[in-house]
Chains A and B, each alone.
Chain A
Amino acid sequence: MDMINILTVFILAIFVGNEVITKVPPTLHTPLMSGSNAISGIAIVGAIISTKVGGEIGTWLGLVAVIFATINVFGGFMVTDRMLKMFKRK
């Protein structure tokens, strides 16, 4: 049951992603990439959890995962903001 549920969510989310992202104009494709980089930093949720439940090896793997994911979250959102700030009208 779990499997069917999450597959349903996954498939529907791909359709949502497709709808939303095809509307992003080419001029914003670089911020789109860096912004979606930041969003893939959502793995931080799993990383935080694994520092607890992972046992000793898991804890250390979790720590590295937290570092990696935080780099993505901070770096991704900040650099996207830096770029979007520059897009101005005449």
Chain B
Amino acid sequence: MEFTKLFYVLAAVFFIIGLKKLSHPKTARNGNIIASVGMLIAIVVTLVAFDVLNYKLIAIGMIIGAIIGSTFAIRVKMTGMPQMVAIFNGFGGGASALVAAAEFYSKVGHGEQTTFLLSTIALSVLVGTLTFTGSFIAFGKLQGFISGQPIVFKGQKVLNALIAIALITCSVMMVNNPDQMMTYFLAVVILSALLGITIVIPIGGADMPVVISLLNSYSGIAAAATGFVLLNNGLIISGALVGASGLILTNIMCKGMNRSLANVIFGAVGLTQEGASGDAAGKQMNIKSYSTEEAAMIFDAADKIIIVPGYGLAVAQAQHAAREVADYLESKGKTVLYAIHPVAGRMPGHMNVLLAEANVPYEHLKDLDEINPEFDTCDVALVLGANDVVNPAARHDKSSPIYGMPILDVDKSRTVIINKRTMNPGFAGIQNELFGFDNTIMVFGDAKQMLTDLLKDLKEL
């Protein structure tokens, strides 16, 4: 038994090496393979070391899981990646909670319960169940099963606070009340399931990357808590790695919006607020709407073009069309770069994956700090389905909900060409004064259709 523990540490070492290799796209794929070998080691060791396991049952479970998991993995579209990660966070949290629950039923009442065991079970069930239900709500929002907009009602914060207090109370009672333990255990399960739902429903739209990152972190914390229950270092180390990863991403996303985590969780920004649109809404904007033909002439005269993709690009599945336009422009000797805002899309790195799918070389994908100085010398900035991340109100309009958010300085380009389907505001529900700027041109239409037309017009020039 002592011997097997070494193999769990070995598995954890493989995970760490695997994550380390994610520091560069060149080595990343190998890193993922190394991590999966680590997982194989952990599984095989468990199967071998614990004799008289219920192998038939385990085989059935693993076959079902493998079929479902690989079907998801093979069939998911790159645009649907946020949903997939959301639901997987849920399964991870759910698995951890279930293991802790199984441990509860087996040990409790057999004189084996210690305060430490009970508290770790409570923690694992709490975090795991909350992750499970919260992730399914996030999945439903991203998939469009439920409204992607924040769902808010009066007294919501009070309700959440009451549930949280009841949850903590029941957890404490479960640990300290051997007679009523079963009742309190069930109360913890139900209340954490409820809390998972009520803390995710008021968050929506452009705040989804934060939610997904946070749930990712929770799924790791749940696994680590289960490691405490089982006294298994493999689970503890792996859970800590995932927990740290999710927290770092959460932090990057919050910084990308210049908001605190508390503000994202409780702020319900993204809801269309009356009067929140500041000066921009009051002023009549002079909008110049061009055809793709006219836009093509502007591209023809440009040397340096920066493409700014947003969630609209993902919705329209326009990543391939964008790359074809970029290829054509490059073949004419022009420079084409891509500006990726940290919160563009619905999860961290969403745009990068979409563009990688369309064979855009990763060297051309520039993050905020790299690309912003480039706009000064840029002839055309092409904004595809992005809105809030290019809204200059973030710089000066203190009444704007996005005030202080770092933005892409597209307005410094000689010409800004913005493609949108309609004049509807973005997910933060705010008008964008950029649309009325002198150097801004709007080209309305579905991104994919617009880019296809643009390419045709470019070739006919």
- Are A45 and B349 in contact, with the CB atoms below 8 A? no
B interface, CB within 8 angstroms of A: 8, 11-12, 15-16, 18-20, 22-26, 28-29, 31-33, 35-36, 39, 42-43, 46-47, 50, 52-54, 57-58, 60-62, 64-66, 68-70, 72-74, 76, 78, 81, 84-85, 88-89, 91-92, 94-96, 98-99, 101-103, 105-106, 116, 212-213, 216, 219-220, 222-224, 226-246, 248-249, 252, 340, 342, 347-350, 352-353, 356-357, 359, 361-365, 367
- Are B24 and A25 in contact, with the CB atoms below 8 A? yes
- Are B50 and A49 in contact, with the CB atoms below 8 A? yes
Once A36-B245, A42-B42 are accepted as A-B contacts, the answer to whether A84 and B69 lie under 8 Å apart by CB is: no
* CA of A85 to CA of B239, assembled, Å: 26
- Are A69 and B32 in contact, with the CB atoms below 8 A? no
A interface, CB within 8 angstroms of B: 2-3, 6, 9-10, 13-14, 16-18, 20-55, 57-59, 61-90
Q: Can you report 25 A-B residue pairs in the complex whose CB atoms are below 8 A from each other?
A: A9-B237, A13-B12, A17-B241, A27-B349, A28-B352, A29-B352, A33-B85, A33-B246, A33-B249, A35-B18, A38-B35, A38-B36, A39-B242, A42-B238, A43-B222, A44-B39, A44-B42, A46-B235, A48-B53, A49-B230, A64-B61, A64-B98, A83-B81, A87-B28, A89-B26
Q: Is the interface of A mostly helix, strand, loop or mixed?
A: helix
Kindly report which residue of chain B lies nearest to residue A34, judged by CB atoms.
B85
Q: Is the interface of B mostly helix, strand, loop or mixed?
A: helix
- Are A79 and B84 in contact, with the CB atoms below 8 A? yes
* CA of A73 to CA of B238, assembled, Å: 13
Least distance between A35 CB and chain B CB atoms (Å): 6
Residues of B within 8 A of A86 (CB): 353, 356-357, 359
* CA of A50 to CA of B222, assembled, Å: 16
- Are A30 and B19 in contact, with the CB atoms below 8 A? no
Least distance between B10 CB and chain A CB atoms (Å): 13
- Are A33 and B69 in contact, with the CB atoms below 8 A? no
- Are A40 and B238 in contact, with the CB atoms below 8 A? yes
- Are A28 and B22 in contact, with the CB atoms below 8 A? yes
Residues of B within 8 A of A13 (CB): 12, 236-237, 240-241, 244
- Are B249 and A75 in contact, with the CB atoms below 8 A? no
Extra contacts, 14 of them, besides A44-B42, A58-B102, A61-B99 (Cβ < 8 A), are A23-B20, A24-B22, A25-B25, A30-B349, A34-B81, A37-B88, A39-B39, A42-B239, A45-B232, A49-B230, A59-B102, A62-B99, A83-B353, A86-B353
| Other-chain residue from A25, A58, A67, A74 in contact with B105 (beta carbon distance below 8 A) | A58
Residues of A within 8 A of B226 (CB): 43, 46
Interface centre among B92, B94, B212 (most CB of A within 10 A): B92
Once A13-B237, A78-B74 are accepted as A-B contacts, the answer to whether A67 and B68 lie under 8 Å apart by CB is: yes
Kindly report which residue of chain B lies nearest to residue A24, judged by CB atoms.
B22
- Are A24 and B99 in contact, with the CB atoms below 8 A? no
Residues of B within 8 A of A72 (CB): 69, 88, 91-92, 95
Kindly report which residue of chain B lies nearest to residue A54, judged by CB atoms.
B102
Residues of B within 8 A of A45 (CB): 8, 42-43, 46, 230, 232, 234-235
